Structure 1
Amino acid sequence: MNPNKISFIVAVNNEIDFNKCSVHINKIIKPDNFEVEIIPIRNAISLTNAYNLGMNKSNGKYKVYLHQDVFIINPNFINDIINLFNLDINIGLIGMCGATSIPDNGIWWESPRLVGKVYDSHTGNLSLLNFNNIDGEFEEVEGVDGLIMITQYDIPWREDVFKGWHFYDLSQCMEFRKKGYKVVVPNQQVCWCIHDCGIVNVTNGYEENRELFIETYKK
């Protein structure tokens, strides 16, 4: 495992989005003696499958799993996440937005306390989603949105259970927490990412995977 390497792992089915995503990654300030790589995964059968493939291709300590339509706009992104991991060796996973508790129905954004921020276009218009403020450097949460998930430890993604495009994110948060690691959202003074997703498709297996999530973790 290379402690001076960070791998950006992206499931790709739209080359235009991926190229734009890569341009933003390549603009991030690289710490001295640090290696940055981008690992595209094409033709994946699910996000858990793509992310396991990417994880196994990388020997970097730090891994950033992100959607192809996520554009990192924080030039100090790498330094900021490494500093966060160094604050607490028990921090296993970082996300941009999350919930301090996942409701029993598995829908994280219906939690009573949401934290974090991201520029997002799920309504059809790009605007700042700005949840509750965070005191200190970070806030521990139960789950984060999967637009971007950053790790310093490797835990396999549950492709044995989640075989589509939903609930891979909350599942992975649960797997990290089961191993005793913290899942956190950083205190972003200025928003770190744009997620230009457009109106989200929840007809492609969302409900089935929500029920799987409840069965696997909430019961």
Structure 2
Amino acid sequence: MNDKKVAFITSVNDEELYEESKFYAEHLIVPGDIEVEFVKIKKFNSITGAYNEGIKRSDAKYKVFMHQDVFIVNKNFIYDILQIFSLNKEIGMIGMVGCKTIPSNGVWWEANDCFGKVADSHIGSMEIINFKEVKDIYEEVSAIEGLIMITQYDIPWREDIFQGWHFYDISHSLEFKRNGYKVVVPKQQSIWCIHDCGRIELDFSYEDNRRRLIDEYGEEINALKTN
């Protein structure tokens, strides 16, 4: 893998939205020895399938898996993620918001120990979501939200289980833990990302994937509560 490359990997079905997201990423400050590439994945039935395709297409050590409606506003984003990864080789993945203990139902934001911050419009209007403040450079968590998931190791996304667009993020967080890596949320003086997703309407696939999550990881989720 090329440890001097950062890849921004996105599953795309809205070209205009993607180009706006890409515009923000293209204007980040890039360290002089780092190469940046953009990997656009189209016509996939699941985000896990799209992201696995992204892994195949890029040899970058550092991969930023992000939604097409995410706009990175922290100009030093690349510096910041590389610094965090350099601090501890056990850090496998970074996200903007997450929880230290995953509720038994698998719904991460219902936890009492969520950390991080992001601008988000899932209620229909944009707001700053502030969870608990990260005191140090980063806070280790059990799971992160999937709007943006930054990795320094390639671990396959579980498309054998998750064929839709829900709970893949909790799954991937737990897959990193299964492989002995830490998942963290960074300290943000101000928000790093805007997630302009619009109002979210949940369908049958949400509950189906939630049950798949519990079937596969239920024992691990419960074990995390006792650690």
TM-score range, shorter chain: over 0.9
Match of 1:203 in 2: 203
**Superposed structure 1 runs of 4+ greater than 4 Å apart:** none
Q: Does 1:34 align with 2:38?
A: no
1:117-196 aligned at under 5 Å gives the runs 117-196=117-196
Cα distance between partner residues in 2 of 1:49 and 1:214: 20
1:24 Cα shift?
0.3
Change (3 A) 1:204 1:73: farther
Q: How many residues align?
A: 219
Q: In the alignment, residue 74 of structure 1 is paired with which amino acid?
A: N
CA distance, structure 2, for counterparts of residue 180 and residue 90 of structure 1: 7
Equivalent AA in structure 2 for residue 141 of structure 1: V
* 2:38 is the alignment partner of 1:72: no
Cα separation, 2, equivalents of 1:35 and 1:62:
10
Provide, for residues 58-78 of structure 1, a one-character-per-residue CA deviation record: whole Å limited to 9, x for no partner: 000000000000000000000
Q: CA offset at residue 112 of structure 1?
A: 1.0
Deviation at 1:204, TM superposition (A): 5.0
Q: CA deviation at 1:186?
A: 0.2
**Residue number in structure 2 paired with 1:107:** 107
Q: How far apart are the structure 2 equivalents of 1:65 and 1:25? A: 12
Match of 1:81, SS state, is helix
What's the CA shift for 1:16? 1.0
Q: Which runs of 5+ in 2 are unaligned?
A: 220-227
Structure 1 residues without counterparts, runs of 5 or longer = none
State the SS of the aligned residue for 1:101. Answer: coil
Across the aligned residues of Structure 1 and Structure 2, the Cα RMSD in angstroms comes to 0.7
Instruction: Find the aligned partners of 1:3 and 1:178 in 2 and give their Cα distance.
Output: 23
- Structure 2 distance, partners of 1:156, 1:130, is 30
Which residue identity lines up with residue 155 of structure 2 in the other structure?
I
| Alpha-carbon distance in structure 1 between the residues aligned to 2:164 and 2:112 | 27
Q: Are 1:85 and 2:91 matched, yes or no? A: no
Q: CA deviation at 1:134?
A: 1.1
Aligned-partner residue type, residue 101 of structure 1? T
Counterpart residue identity of residue 118, structure 2: V
CA distance in 2, matches of 1:100, 1:162: 23
Task: Provide TM-score, normalisation by structure 1.
Answer: 0.99
TM value normalised by structure 2: 0.95
